[in-house]
Structure 1
Amino acid sequence: MSYSALTHHFEQQHHLQHLGAICGWDQATMMPSGGNQARAEAMSALAVLSHQQLQDPKLADWFASANQASLASDQKVSLAEMHRQWRDATMLPSDLVGALSLAGSRCEHAWRSLRPANDWAGFLPLFAEVLNLSRQVAAARADVLGLSRYDSLLEQFEPGMRSATLDSVFNGVKQWLPALIKEVQDKQGSEIVLQPQGPFAIEQQRALGLDVMALLGFDFNHGRLDVSVHPFCGGVSEDVRLTTRYDEHDVAQALMGVIHETGHARYEQGLPAQWRKLPVGQARSMGVHESQSLFFEMQLARHPAFIAQLSPLLERHFGTQPAFAPDNLAKLYTRVKPGFIRVDADEVTYPAHIMLRYEIERDLIEGKLEAKDLPERWDQLMQRYLGLSTQGNYKDGCMQDIHWTDGSFGYFPSYTLGAMYAAQQASAMQQQQGSLEQLIEQQLPSIFDWLQHNIWQHASLLDTDTLIEQACGQPLNESAFKQHLQQRYLG
């Protein structure tokens, strides 16, 4: 009886989260700017309502009773995931949740205009407020969980992951990444690569994106594609909302963005329907989620066999030109060059962007770095890892990401964890089913079937370590990722 009461309660939570997700999507895509204050207040009220429902005193009794009940194995896992979500909610006071939601909405909305203006002075007080509230959240979580403040936030996105593990894995990457970047650049220095000649009309880019989404098996009855300042995948499994951004002079930016977000969307659409309204039916972690988007974008879409299928689609929408030849596109989509912008980075230099952000956000939350000193630290690490200076260039430096504007500290490591998980999945898939080249050319749907069977259908029924080891035959490590990069870029 108590277990049934808990499932009903958490299904109601799912409905509130559904509304919040669609409101957030609308805020980023459709909402007129004048509506932001009212929307921020409404979303804050919704966040408080959801939080208060999770703090309902009767839940404690229900959990105590359900823990004594005779439950099936999957029900026990579901109960544990509900308890984890309840535990996370009850360790924070509602006024702190509401304050962070409101401050985050204000900061994120202001960021949309302050970043293009390179206005760090205008952004700083808004960001400092979000950081202060995030530190309070971290302190409250740390006291309950017995973790460091940063690890208590990391736990929200990567359950079971700790900064000590990240330090070990990232230190391993640091041993070989700088030399690899240089070696690949030296190798590519003599290559002749043709740039596609635009302009590329936005409506035609959108049509191309829809065609590629269909090729990748996206279910348009349960999702759609729109435009936002920062590409994302939102909504819920039954109604997935993808966004991208367009540049009339660069067709690859939107195309690869759509493919990346389609990977997220296919994971959401592939989650088990019978569990979707409960915590156990949600994605396992952000790292696992990112592994799906990076599998689609990096392992799949930049593979020469898949590029051979993109080439005729580009020609269909934009006409024939030498730059659209498969061999040229393969070179174009695997260029390695250190740059300022994380979302535009190639897969070889990308980990450097993540390690930089990880080190900074860890020190911000632990109180070792203050908001006002962020630009200087950013510049130091950019010079160390990528040989670039961002001094005075805030919009391409510490203001470029949306994540910290709403307090999403602890999120960034998920990107490189996802790249490593994706490489491990690709390696395991090929050991079991044959080369990616053969699968892409002859059995593209079988790739998605493998992901469905080994990743998507498990949702949060398995912990991350078990999920990855069961699917890939080994736990998290950087070896498959290193091997992938060396094979693709050095041969």
Structure 2
Amino acid sequence: MSFARLNELGHKLEALEHALSILGADEATHMAVGGGEKRAEAMASLAGMLHRQATAPEIADWIEAAGAEDLNDDQQTALREFRRQYANLTCLPAEFVEKQTTARMRSEQLWRDLRAKNDWASFQPSLENVVSLVREEAAMRADRLGLHPYDALMEQYDPGNRVADIDPVFVELKGFLKKFVPEALAVQDERLAKRPLKPLSGNYAIEKQRELGLAMMAAVGFDLTHGSLSVSHHPFCGGVPTDVRITTRYKTGEFLSALMGVLHETGHALYEQNLPAEWAHWPLGKARGMSVHESQSLFVEKQLGRNPTFWTWALPVVEKHLGEDWSMEDILPHVHHVERGLIRVDADEVTYPLHVILRYELEQELVSGQLEVADIPDAWDAKMRDYLGLSTEGNFADGPMQDVHWPGGAFGYFPSYTLGAMMAAQQWSALKREHASVDDDLSKGRFDAVNDWRQTHIWSQASRWSTPELMERATGETLSARYFTEHLRQRYGRQ
């Protein structure tokens, strides 16, 4: 009886989550500029309604009573994950959730306007409000969950991941990359000296790029009857599993950034579309966490989309849609281009992790109070100089204002990007051990074996295991940086 009550509640919560997800996707893609204030009010009210229903006191009694019922293995696992989610949700009062949701949405809306104006001074008070609320949230969660405040925030994105485990891996990776970036750039210069880069035409109509993106999405397994492609200021994958909304942004002067953005978000979408539908209204049926989610998106973008064998198949598809005649020797230097840059989302796979580690380090200091919002620009500039030899002094738009995450209050999210890159490389290695012919499959545009492996080891498992447990079960070992660093050496280093 109590398990049945939780099942019924799950359907109600799923309906509210659905509404919030679609409203959020619409707000970022189609909402009129003047609709922001009322949209924030509506979403805050729905978020409060969802939170109140999901944290009702009687649910604790239902969970306890359901534990005494005769449940099968799947039901017991579903109950365990529901209990974990309930513990996390009841850390915060509904009034706080509403206040935080309003602050985040208004900050994000301000960010969209003020980033374009490079106006840090006007944005700073809004971000200070968000950070103040994040610190409150971290303290409440830490007290309830018995975790370090930053670990308590990460738990919302990656259950089971802890700073104590991540720090040593990131320190090792940072040390490797600070030495390897100059090597990769030197190797690139040597190759270009022998064969200069063939310039792209710089004339790529948005509609043709969109058609190419849709063709690639369908080829790698995206179900176009349960998803769509739009344009947004910041690429994302949103919506719900039955109606996945992915976006990209286009530049008519080149096409690779939009195409790689589409492949990246398609990786997210494939995960969502292939979660177990029978548990969609339970926490068990949701994606495990953001680092696992990033491993799926980066798997498609990096392990597939930048793999030379992929381009054996993809190059004719690109030529069909964009009308240019390229050889593999022409296109691969563009696909594998390495460059020190200021913008995280435009970074190549060699320099990208340094962008993430920078943010991971700064936001820990922000949450702990070691760093104040007013001091972010200087701290950001110092780390950019150290890690990538670049300066963002006075350039706030391309520095601490470039990402949507902090305006949106998503602290504890950033490490998932680089954890996901490492996971993707480790998953690819495990996949190749089971399917030695996978490179040949890619060269022929065959993705069945790749997707079957991910369906078995990642997608169908949903939230059955913690993030570290899922990774160990999928690949046979705990997360290691060595697969990622070896991947970079093979693709970008001296052979």
What TM-score do you get using the length of structure 2 for normalisation?
0.97
Query: 2:420 aligned to 414, 418, 436, which one?
Result: 418
Asked whether the 8 Å contact 1:104–1:406 carries over to 2, the reply is yes
Match of 2:379 in 1: 377
Match of 2:94 in 1: 94
Task: Tell me if 1:241 matches 2:242.
Answer: no
3-state secondary structure, aligned to 2:143: helix
CA distance in 2, matches of 1:359, 1:316: 44
Asked whether the 8 Å contact 1:420–1:480 carries over to 2, the reply is yes
Task: Tell me if 1:218 matches 2:232.
Answer: no
- 1:439 to partner: Cα distance: 2.5
Match of 1:292 in 2: 296
**Structure 2 counterparts to residues 7-156 of structure 1, below 5 A:** 7-156=7-156
Match of 1:463 in 2: 466
Match of 2:235 in 1: 231
Query: 1:479 aligned to 477, 482, 489, which one?
Result: 482
- 1:462 to partner: Cα distance: 2.1
Letter matched to residue 17 of structure 1:
E
Match of 2:433 in 1: 431
CA distance in 1, matches of 2:17, 2:198: 46
In the TM superposition, what whole-angstrom CA distance separates every residue of 1:456-480 from its partner, at most 9, and x where no partner exists?
A: 1110112222221121111111011
Letter matched to residue 304 of structure 2:
L
Asked whether the 8 Å contact 1:100–1:406 carries over to 2, the reply is no
Task: Tell me if 1:165 matches 2:168.
Answer: no
In the TM superposition, what whole-angstrom CA distance separates every residue of 1:312-340 from its partner, at most 9, and x where no partner exists?
A: 1222122224xx32222111111111110
CA distance in 1, matches of 2:50, 2:179: 49
Letter matched to residue 448 of structure 2:
P
3-state secondary structure, aligned to 2:247: strand
Letter matched to residue 2 of structure 1:
S
CA distance in 2, matches of 1:98, 1:213: 36
In the TM superposition, what whole-angstrom CA distance separates every residue of 1:410-467 from its partner, at most 9, and x where no partner exists?
A: 0000000100110011001111111542121244221111111111111011222222
3-state secondary structure, aligned to 1:250: coil
How many residue pairs are counted as aligned between the two chains? 489
Structure 1: 5+ residue stretches without partners: none
In the TM superposition, what whole-angstrom CA distance separates every residue of 1:130-155 from its partner, at most 9, and x where no partner exists?
A: 11111111111011111111111011
CA distance in 1, matches of 2:247, 2:491: 29
What TM-score do you get using the length of structure 1 for normalisation?
0.98
CA distance in 2, matches of 1:462, 1:59: 23
3-state secondary structure, aligned to 1:224: strand
Task: Tell me if 1:2 matches 2:2.
Answer: yes
3-state secondary structure, aligned to 2:406: helix
Asked whether the 8 Å contact 1:303–1:330 carries over to 2, the reply is no
Letter matched to residue 369 of structure 1:
L
Asked whether the 8 Å contact 1:10–1:82 carries over to 2, the reply is no
- 1:208 to partner: Cα distance: 0.8
Calculate the aligned-residue CA RMSD, in Å. Answer: 1.1
CA distance in 2, matches of 1:199, 1:113: 29
Query: 1:194 aligned to 191, 195, 198, which one?
Result: 198
In the TM superposition, what whole-angstrom CA distance separates every residue of 1:45-76 from its partner, at most 9, and x where no partner exists?
A: 00000011112121111111112222212111
Match of 2:257 in 1: 253
CA distance in 2, matches of 1:27, 1:488: 39
CA distance in 2, matches of 1:40, 1:195: 44
Query: 1:449 aligned to 449, 452, 457, which one?
Result: 452
- 1:25 to partner: Cα distance: 0.4
Worse-superposed segment, 441-450 or 404-413: 441-450
Match of 1:310 in 2: 314
Letter matched to residue 177 of structure 1:
L
Q: Percent identity?
A: 48
Letter matched to residue 331 of structure 1:
P
CA distance in 2, matches of 1:57, 1:148: 26
3-state secondary structure, aligned to 1:368: coil
Letter matched to residue 238 of structure 2:
G
Asked whether the 8 Å contact 1:157–1:411 carries over to 2, the reply is yes
In the TM superposition, what whole-angstrom CA distance separates every residue of 1:117-170 from its partner, at most 9, and x where no partner exists?
A: 101011111111111111111111011111111111011001111111111110
Match of 2:388 in 1: 386
CA distance in 2, matches of 1:5, 1:445: 39
Asked whether the 8 Å contact 1:200–1:251 carries over to 2, the reply is yes
- 1:195 to partner: Cα distance: 2.4
Runs of 4+ that moved beyond 4 A: none
In the TM superposition, what whole-angstrom CA distance separates every residue of 1:70-108 from its partner, at most 9, and x where no partner exists?
A: 221211111111112211121111111011100111011
Asked whether the 8 Å contact 1:199–1:248 carries over to 2, the reply is yes
3-state secondary structure, aligned to 1:240: strand
Asked whether the 8 Å contact 2:204–2:252 carries over to 1, the reply is yes
3-state secondary structure, aligned to 1:406: coil
Match of 2:287 in 1: 283
CA distance in 1, matches of 2:276, 2:63: 24
Worse-superposed segment, 366-375 or 301-310: 301-310
Letter matched to residue 294 of structure 1:
L
Letter matched to residue 272 of structure 1:
P
Asked whether the 8 Å contact 2:130–2:409 carries over to 1, the reply is yes
CA distance in 1, matches of 2:56, 2:324: 62
Asked whether the 8 Å contact 1:287–1:417 carries over to 2, the reply is yes
Letter matched to residue 446 of structure 1:
A
CA distance in 2, matches of 1:45, 1:140: 22
In the TM superposition, what whole-angstrom CA distance separates every residue of 1:279-329 from its partner, at most 9, and x where no partner exists?
A: 1001111100000000000000101111122221222122224xx322221
Structure 2: 5+ residue stretches without partners: none
Match of 1:339 in 2: 341
- 1:177 to partner: Cα distance: 1.2
